[in-house]
Chains A and B, each alone.
Chain A
């Protein structure tokens, strides 16, 4: 199929405002790699990285609901010692409470509920709930000083994914698709896998949407089940040949429409039809994990053969990465332990610990970890004080945005490192704060993009993922 349909079109306004520069860029770029024409960024800068990238692809293991940093990564002996006592006002400093705990009469501190040890040569601190991750602790870079202003899930995840608490902006994957293009013509450049049948905070397709960017940059959700991508397979009675003919004819009509109206969305739609046609063969192929050797299944754990589980999705993520998909995002819900922390947190880690570690090991032994960036984390952290009666078996922790932990592995991040520190109450950041904007700036940096230069003009001004904020965290970058 001809790739030139991906070429971003010229509107009359574009022509008038950018003639010489625009035409030049259009012709030169076509000399280069055809696969990168998918990201012909006339408003953006260039059609590739701004400087040599360390990572070529990202696997983002998003833990939706907010895993408790105190019980998994950042234990605080002071909390254990002061269990039952009130959170001091000098520490809280008037931080707003959510509606769920605002009604509480007291805010008793409660220490970590699980045992902690230091692991590997780097001495990374991890709880007993994550033994598999502990085995590869020396590959990981922990950021303990993440912070966000958001206090509730939807704005917080939206903030992480799009750079703003208000919906409407493109997601990280869409920005990357726009800035870097795709490495594989037959698969979307941005794939999303959500763990099936998990209860928890809702997720919306706008979290992997394209916002105001052309719609070909949106994330495509692959589902577990007979049809990984909805409405992809041909209905009964329609075979590949007739489908191909249909698309060709449709294209002719679309071209006519485009000649008349020059609406960029027409081109985007055409591109996606063609991509869908190619995906009819490529998607079933990549989703079929039955041919993997047994030791791979063992490495990912018992869930891997059940489609839709986090483990199965991790294995799929590796397969997608092998095929050159640039941005693979997994969502796993259920970390929102407002109650039953002791009971439910272990269930969550049982589902995620082994597969996450297995994914990193699998990438490493295939030599892919050196140019793949793996990220693990949620949208914020949890409070040092208990939600609900502290003496109850089923107490929990509320949302906490002032500090939380994320870890990364792979391309361009220092191995065996812990960056940033929280105070003794795990309430505020004590050293080296990393805001979500800083995190996103660093993410783009690892992919070779200057976060201040990848922009898109919309509603009269230029937008970027980090908007007007964000500093690259140089200390975690590996050389």
Chain B
């Protein structure tokens, strides 16, 4: 009804009357304890009457505005706090008129409670209008620290083992839709609390389909909010992040088993999911996800003695960046092999490295960058590195590799950049490899 929508919005205006008047009355009650100010007592019943009337109007308007989409928790307490203030104010008015019978102690006690209710309810009302951290936004540091909620703890889940449905989609559906669409209420025959029941759909048929655009669930939550079919009809609608995520999920291949790690490649979602849902699905570098014990310094020394420069990736990192010291000849790589788990960047470029010695690198399972430019490595040698699961960058410029050998690299699922300038590799060969590895950039040179 238009009347409700229109007048409901006057609640924030009208409500200032009872607030101001009740507090004024309380102050008068306190000040009137002084003999010279006793006259103030005479005004009290009038003030309390106006307070109660305006409180009544506020409550009615408030009841109407409550339907216009506010967070349910805060709304609940604010609503009933307001009703309590109305009740208290009315009692106070009655009590103030019968001043001789009503004991001053009870009166003052009740008034104190009502004033506290006004403050709390009023604050909640402010939160409803402006948001929970409205007052804290510009508060001095020592104040905001005191009130700071613990940042949503980041879930230490491994993105490869957790599913999108379980960790992200299901909680959203249960929170926003579950009050009506659960096994008990089962509105419209739809139960969103389990994947099986979600897939079954409701009375009108399936709600999740091949993709987002043919999904009835998606259609309903993205309708204009005043549409009669809009979901959810009451309470908070789905947020921007939730809708974006829902759309992505409905368009993905495996709804039930799709892993969180698949979200890495999306450009917007990881940041949004981190911000709003506290789940970190951003793509992580290997050295951030893997834990390793530090390598024995003696071993590092040994590697250095055979002509390699060894540095940790950064100050305390167990991961190593190993390169051949300029000008040293490459003897053999067996010492390097001893740090097989720790070496993540390896530079053997511009050396006499050949296929045979390259074989040793197959054991360096955590390699992410491998530089083999201007060496004797050719197509056969590439077989040795075909199983490096985390390799992201491979430099083969100036070697004898060709299109044939390139196919040895088709199982390097993490490979992102391949440098093959000044080799026998052609554009056709590169494109063929990219069919297997769609995220791969092949740099053929200028």
A residues near B (Cβ < 8 Å) are: 28, 31-36, 45-46, 48-53, 183-186, 299, 322-324, 361-362, 364-367, 370, 448, 479
Contacts and interface: CB of A to CB of B under 8 A. Distances in A.
B314 A49 contact: yes
Interface of B: 283, 285, 287, 297, 300-301, 304, 309-315, 317, 323, 325-327, 350, 371, 373, 393, 395, 397, 417, 419, 421-422, 443-446
Given A33-B304, A36-B311, A479-B283, A365 B446 contact: yes
B325 to A, nearest CB: 8
Given A46-B315, A51-B314, A479-B283, A34 B304 contact: yes
Contacts of B323: 183
Nearest to A35: B309
A361 B446 contact: yes
B443 A52 contact: no
B310 A52 contact: no
B309 A365 contact: no
Nearest to B416: A370
B81 to A, nearest CB: 43
Given A49-B313, A52-B313, A183-B309, 15 more contacts: A32-B297, A32-B300, A32-B310, A32-B312, A34-B309, A48-B315, A51-B315, A52-B287, A186-B326, A365-B421, A366-B419, A367-B373, A367-B443, A370-B393, A479-B283
A108 B310 CA distance: 60
A367 B301 contact: no
Which of B310, B393, B417 has the most chain A CB atoms inside 10 A of its CB?
B310
A472 B326 CA distance: 33
B311 A50 contact: no
A48 B312 contact: yes
B353 to A, nearest CB: 15
In the A-B complex, the 5 residue pairs with the closest CB atoms: A367-B419, A367-B395, A365-B445, A365-B421, A31-B297
A365 B315 contact: no
A32 B373 contact: no
Contacts of A184: 326
A185 B315 CA distance: 21
Nearest to B317: A52
A52 B446 contact: no
A90 B325 CA distance: 59
7 contacts: A28-B297, A31-B300, A32-B311, A49-B314, A50-B315, A186-B326, A370-B393
A33 B417 contact: no
Contacts of B446: 299, 361-362, 364-365
A322 B395 CA distance: 14
A406 B326 CA distance: 33
A448 B314 contact: yes
Contacts of A364: 443, 446
A324 B422 CA distance: 21
B393 A367 contact: yes
Contacts of B314: 48-53, 448
Contacts of A51: 314-315
A366 B287 contact: no
A365 B395 CA distance: 9
B302 to A, nearest CB: 11
Contacts of A323: 326
A434 B353 CA distance: 45
Contact of A49 (B310, B315, B395): B315
B50 to A, nearest CB: 51
Given A31-B300, A365-B443, A365-B446, A48 B311 contact: yes
A31 B301 contact: yes
A134 to B, nearest CB: 14
Contact of B421 (A185, A322, A366): A366
B310 A33 contact: yes
B397 A366 contact: yes
Contacts of B317: 52
Nearest to B419: A367
Nearest to B394: A367
Nearest to A281: B327
A45 B417 CA distance: 33
Contacts of A52: 285, 287, 313-314, 317
A324 B300 CA distance: 21
A143 B297 CA distance: 43
Contacts of A32: 297, 300, 310-312
A162 to B, nearest CB: 25
Contacts of B395: 366-367
Contacts of A46: 315
A312 to B, nearest CB: 19
A478 to B, nearest CB: 11
Contacts of B325: 35, 185
B285 A33 contact: no
Nearest to A323: B326
Which of A45, A52, A364, A370 has the most chain B CB atoms inside 10 A of its CB?
A52
Contacts of B422: 365
A50 B287 CA distance: 14
A365 B300 CA distance: 32
A32 B295 CA distance: 11
Contacts of B417: 367, 370
Contacts of A367: 371, 373, 393, 395, 397, 417, 419, 443
Contacts of B310: 32-33
A238 B312 CA distance: 42
Contact of A366 (B285, B309, B373): B373
A45 B316 CA distance: 12
B316 to A, nearest CB: 9
A370 B297 CA distance: 29
Which of B312, B323, B422, B446 has the most chain A CB atoms inside 10 A of its CB?
B446
A431 B338 CA distance: 52
A323 B326 CA distance: 7
A51 B421 CA distance: 31
A287 to B, nearest CB: 16
A49 B311 CA distance: 10
A365 B444 CA distance: 7
Contacts of B313: 49, 52
A321 to B, nearest CB: 12
A31 B314 CA distance: 15
Contact of B327 (A53, A183, A186, A362): A186
Contacts of B287: 52
Given A52-B287, A479-B283, A365 B419 contact: yes
A48 B317 CA distance: 11
A361 B445 CA distance: 8
Nearest to A361: B446
A28 B316 CA distance: 12
Contacts of B371: 367
A299 to B, nearest CB: 7
A55 to B, nearest CB: 13
Contacts of A33: 304, 309-311
Contacts of A53: 314
Which of B285, B312, B397 has the most chain A CB atoms inside 10 A of its CB?
B312
Contacts of A35: 309, 325
Contacts of A299: 446
A365 B397 contact: yes
Contacts of B421: 365-366
Contacts of A183: 309, 323
Which of A186, A322, A366 has the most chain B CB atoms inside 10 A of its CB?
A366
